[in-house]
Amino acid sequence: MTIDAVRAGLDVREVELDLSHRATGRDLHGFAHRGRQLTDLLLACGPQATSFRGLRLPLAGVVVALAEPSVAPVAAIGLADDLWSGPERGFREHLRAGPTTGTLKLVGIPLYALLRTRSVSGAVLVGLCANTLNQLDTRPGRALKAFGVGACLLGGAPRQAVAVAVLLAPYDLREMVMLGDAGSNALGAVLGFSSVQRITGIRRLGAIGALAALTVLGERRSIGSLIESTPVLRDLDRLGRAT
């Protein structure tokens, strides 16, 4: 709030009050306490953007690129969409609007995956994984839970990416930060590249078909509304969320 006040041109003054707090010393507990404070500061005040609606977005998803450099280009493309996207939603709206950051994602992510995997089916799978997780990132914690489920189904994902997901989960669930397209696309790409390494042949085609069907469903109907209307999915989706 202080940063927003300064950016708005308001005066900020420090007022000393006769208060005390539970001070921590130079021991393990104290260093851990200050470490959590530093983490809060970096996630809240590090990468920021303003949406097309004028809302400030503390985008924490870019830390995925720092932890897993192989998906850094995907995170960069997603960050461009976070910074400069308009009101368009879905493939059809982006294609109708002409060149947008959404069409950049539509072309750029599969193209990068094609260069990495040297496989058309691999590129399609990575692109669909990135888009699916991005479609799910409409409520706190939803995309991270989907990433966790995907990592378990695949038998694992890069440890660095899993560690980042675990770190961001409480912040995302409490609406203290946002993954943004940078984070959701990058985590989806992590699952995509892991899938390319683990599944081939008919299983890969089956995965592509399932994700393509989910993408089409998301174009015609909100996946979020489907989750909300399904009791078990709704309960899992709300688990750990503040509101």
Note whether residue 74 is domain-resident: yes
pLDDT at 45: 76
Residues 6+ apart with CB under 8 A from 225: none
Residues 6+ apart with CB under 8 A from 186: 61, 64, 65, 68, 71, 72, 74, 75, 78, 130
The CA distance from 33 to 162, in Å, is: 23
Note whether residue 125 is domain-resident: yes
Note whether residue 144 is domain-resident: yes
pLDDT over 90 at 104, yes or no: no
Note whether residue 65 is domain-resident: yes
Residues 6+ apart with CB under 8 A from 22: none
Placement of tokens 């078990």 in the chain: 232
pLDDT over 70 at 52, yes or no: no
pLDDT at 3: 79
Q: If DSSP codes are grouped into helix, strand and coil, which group holds residue 71?
A: helix
Q: 80 lies in which domain range?
A: 56-238
122-161 tens-digit pLDDT: 999 999 999 999 999 888 999 999 999 999 988 877 888 8
14-27 tens-digit pLDDT: 999 998 877 888 88
Q: What are the beta bridge partners of residue 56?
A: 50
The CA distance from 157 to 166, in Å, is: 13
Note whether residue 21 is domain-resident: no
Total domains, the chain: 1
Note whether residue 46 is domain-resident: no
